[in-house]
């Protein structure tokens, strides 16, 4: 059973990360084309669909399968797992911040620049290095 859960966990993680990489790019386009009403309406729909229909289910699938695997591994003596979980919690906070920005854009009250979202888009990359590093190298 563990191998099947791991398989699903990896697929869920990849799907969640697709959203974490793509949604901030949509925010860049949204912020830089704010005066193009037709374009903005299309991007708002894209932002909603990718967040609600892909991101939220993928995040929960990743977390639930991760909890199962963590219970199977055991928390005792696995400091690397504690560190990984900490960074996953940070990743979740980042994801929820994307949801907050999505709502602000939906209500036409997000005034962050495209440049801001270009930099903000780098956060999941840094967290990816740390989380995958924890799993492979188990440094603690």
Residues 96-111 have pLDDT tens digits of 999 999 999 999 999 9
pTM of the model: 0.93
pLDDT of 136: 92
**Beta-carbon contacts of residue 52 (< 8 Å; ≥ 6 apart):** none
Alpha carbons 103 and 40: distance in angstroms, whole number: 13
Alpha carbons 103 and 134: distance in angstroms, whole number: 33
Helix (H) or strand (E) holding 65: helix 56-73
Q: pLDDT (tens digit, 9 = 90+) per residue, 8-49? A: 999 999 999 999 999 999 999 999 999 999 999 999 999 999
Q: Is the pLDDT score of 77 beyond 80?
A: no
User: Span 122-130, mean pLDDT?
Assistant: 95
User: Span 74-95, mean pLDDT?
Assistant: 90
* Domain count within the chain: 1
Instruction: Identify which of 27, 43, 41 has the alpha carbon closest to the alpha carbon of residue 98.
Output: 27
**Residue range of the domain that includes 66:** 2-137
Alpha carbons 46 and 19: distance in angstroms, whole number: 11
């Amino acid at each position: 059973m563990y191998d099947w859960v791991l398989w699903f966990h990896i697929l869920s993680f990849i799907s969640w990360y697709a959203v974490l990489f793509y949604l901030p790019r949509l925010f860049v386009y949204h912020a830089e084309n704010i005066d193009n009403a037709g374009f903005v309406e299309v991007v708002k729909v894209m932002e909603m669909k990718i967040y609600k229909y892909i991101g939220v289910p993928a995040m929960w699938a990743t977390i639930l399968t991760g909890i199962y695997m963590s219970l199977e591994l055991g928390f005792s003596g696995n400091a690397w797992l504690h560190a990984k979980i900490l960074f996953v919690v940070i990743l979740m906070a980042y994801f929820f911040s994307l949801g907050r920005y999505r709502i602000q854009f939906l209500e036409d009250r997000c005034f962050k620049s495209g440049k801001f979202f270009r930099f903000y888009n780098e956060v999941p990359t840094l967290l990816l290095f740390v989380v995958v590093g924890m799993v492979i190298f188990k440094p603690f």
